[in-house]
Amino acid sequence: MNITLANEKDVEWLNEVIRIEFPYTEFNEKKITEKINNPNFCILVARQGNIQTGFCETELFTQKQEARLNAIFVEDAWRDQGIGKTLIEYTINQCKHKRIQKIFLLVKKENVGAKTLYKKTNFDFIKMHDKKIDDSDIEVWEQKI
């Protein structure tokens, strides 16, 4: 497995995944390209050879010394192989280099698989979020680094 920063060749794949997995974000290829080129975002892509197997997007708030993990995804055929954990570990490392002290994320209360991954990577439940996404209750998790 290889983890790299997303590039222009990943935009079509990222757009398709985001459209299916995160439809409430209303992203398109132009917005994804803008994020790839924006230093306040870090989009990492996991690859097996030339195949994209997963990605992780983080937004950096450097003045606050914190970051928000906006999305993580691993293709079904590649799950349970440590790709999600590796993506998060790379994300944490990227944040440390940028002097980020805290990473937080939002997760649907019923998303047990994601919460299991977050526990394995040392995130802790902090509180319930005051808004819903897709009619789901949302939890806030964080990790101090």
Radius of gyration of the chain (CA): 14
Three-class secondary structure of residue 106 per DSSP: strand
For 53-80, how does the pLDDT look when each residue is reduced to its tens digit (9 = 90+)?
999 999 999 899 999 999 999 999 999 9
Count of domains for the chain: 1
pLDDT of residue 37: 96
Query: Does the pLDDT value for residue 133 go beyond 90?
Result: no
Q: Domain containing 102: what range?
A: 2-144
Buried b (16+ CB within 10 A) or exposed e, 67-85: bbbbbbbbbeebeeeebbe
pLDDT of residue 24: 85
For 73-113, how does the pLDDT look when each residue is reduced to its tens digit (9 = 90+)?
999 999 999 999 999 999 999 999 999 999 999 999 999 99
CATH number of the domain where residue 15 is located? 3.40.630.30
Angle at 22 (CA atoms; ends 21, 27), nearest 5 degrees: 125
